[in-house]
Structure 1
């Protein structure tokens, strides 16, 4: 019998920055090159705050006539040619953008962080369920074949009981050389290390302890944040996570920075039988090396090269399409409850600023973390 034609998910893109560009270029890659024959992706709409930016985005990314340009996000939400919306706007805008898209009847894939606090994430999760629409935070790393293999390796028991985790993602963004309104250092756009790069460090503190599909429970957190005096954003974040004894006796150390670079091994997971080191960066693992504690046993090495084309965002896009076509409202690998819990953990880390010289609870509470300073 002839095979069924692939089902095509039609995407609308919100925001025309670098992350949206990378996501779009991955969508344009033929799924057959990664062994996917049941799905296809089509970009049918691009929305920006100006028509000029939207049309330029379409031209720059070779979208040709397949995508319509719109000078507002609302026109993308209302387009009958759009099934799902990808939100690549600044973090401070995620909540409002996702809420508008859901209210317009569109499925949503929203870049990390889903929101800037747990309350907003809970509202979006409730709204998506009410509207019977799919919603997922775009933590693309969760869907890499290497990520799945690493979780399965840990779950197999070869590493023994997980005892310590070191997870870092630090990138030197040359902060003094950035424009004053650059998103990553703009407190009004929820800039800073915690929400920009911290989610990837946090991801690998959690996945080894909570093997899929176990729900994440809140750890105890001791955190420290270094604030940039000029930009009023966190440039370094460190946290020690201690899990409930009923879950794990492991300690996890999370670090992230906007003005330093990561060490050669960005993620190290130590267990009672050996340790596992990542090959590749925290957000884009390409494999692992496992070293046994027992003398005389050779290392185990597994590599999962990324396809020659693309960055790997297509794997999360494939997950979205499969879930939507199956009538699911969320992904089992990236649940809404996980996103809400992660936002609670991030809030606890952010509270570490109160421990800094000159920091205090009043200063912490003056920030709503929806991108605005509280008046009065």
Structure 2
């Protein structure tokens, strides 16, 4: 930490959906629970109507458990409820805007905030495609504003611990990696307007679930010292299409980190449960590292030496730390306090790499779908 006095950051929240609710709640968690000198205030909330925004704020004010600390400290006392996102972005009391809308709206909503002179934290995946992301990056750099993708997993204590093990060389050279985020969401029972099924909302498994296998490939392979921040070669991909709405129900892609001579297979699936014991596995020359489900918020990992006993380590998010979204909020606050326009832990260059994978999977999947339709 570079300061001993609390730094207060004033947030504007775009969307009143489930992820925006959890993020806003975690802004109310006592910073002392994570040894932080950041203080977060919710200055404004935007929804499609004032009534919806009011209900969102009232729900936050009724929070119990670890979130009641912020309520008692007055972090919601002056929160304004707006019936549009533009009003949040133009509120002079807002320092940074959190974008929690569907992925197909991320570009427009984040761009609106940047053009209004606000720093931006945007939910993953960052944008619908790389062109949209590059547009946001150009605007942020032109206006000297902070911009970051909200990949919360990167900031969890367990992520640092796992990297320490891999980068220490204890397990030897990485040889093979696989990561899977699969959950049976019972999609047949959902309406076609559901966010998982509606193409207009970025439906399918890839855009919703893809950032999580990707984050472990980025943390363990891309950031590996021997990789030298080199993007992997995209080898191939496969998508199974959900016929009711033509979104992907399953996506799989293979990467080759040539500097490491290590292949990485990543997969998402919204129709089948993944393995609980091994959501991500890095096989190395002298042993394996196994991360238990789920990849978005794991609490346990194992070290399995080639010669030796399995070691198990637990680093759960503590109950008093809420959902665990407070860590990424602290990173935003620290960067803005220190005058940084991007995070060293979640740099824009790495968002571009991961976004390019999703783009390529979709590009190849679309081509495959056209071929299949042509044969029908």
Query: Taking structure 2 as the reference length, what is the TM-score of the superposition?
Result: 0.90
| 1:304 correspondence with 2:315 | yes
Stretches of structure 1 lacking an aligned partner (at least 5 in a row): 364-376
Give the 5 Å matches for 1:1-376. 4-36=4-36, 38-62=37-61, 64-211=76-223, 215-244=229-258, 247-264=259-276, 265-294=278-307, 297-309=308-320, 310-353=322-365, 356=368, 359-360=370-371
The answer as to whether partners of 2:275 and 2:293 remain within 8 angstroms in 1 is no
Stretches of structure 2 lacking an aligned partner (at least 5 in a row): 62-70
- Structure holding more helix per residue: 2
- Offset of residue 352 of structure 1: 3.2
**In 2, distance between residues paired with 1:249 and 1:203?**
19
Give CA deviations for 1:161-187 in whole Å, capped at 9, x if unaligned. 111111000111111222321222110
Query: Taking structure 1 as the reference length, what is the TM-score of the superposition?
Result: 0.90
Partner of 1:372: none
**In 2, distance between residues paired with 1:139 and 1:58?**
24
Cα gap change, 1:53 to 1:179, in 2 (>3 Å): farther
Give CA deviations for 1:102-134 in whole Å, capped at 9, x if unaligned. 000000000001101111111111110110000
The answer as to whether partners of 1:34 and 1:307 remain within 8 angstroms in 2 is no
- Offset of residue 303 of structure 1: 1.6
Give CA deviations for 1:10-45 in whole Å, capped at 9, x if unaligned. 100001100000101111111101121x21111110
SS of structure 2 residue aligned to 1:333: coil
The answer as to whether partners of 1:111 and 1:137 remain within 8 angstroms in 2 is yes
Aligned length: 355
* Bigger mean CA offset, 9-18 vs 307-316: 307-316
Partner of 1:367: none
The answer as to whether partners of 2:206 and 2:268 remain within 8 angstroms in 1 is yes
CA RMSD in angstroms, aligned pairs only: 1.8
Runs (4+) of structure 1 exceeding 6 A deviation are none
**In 1, distance between residues paired with 2:78 and 2:29?**
14
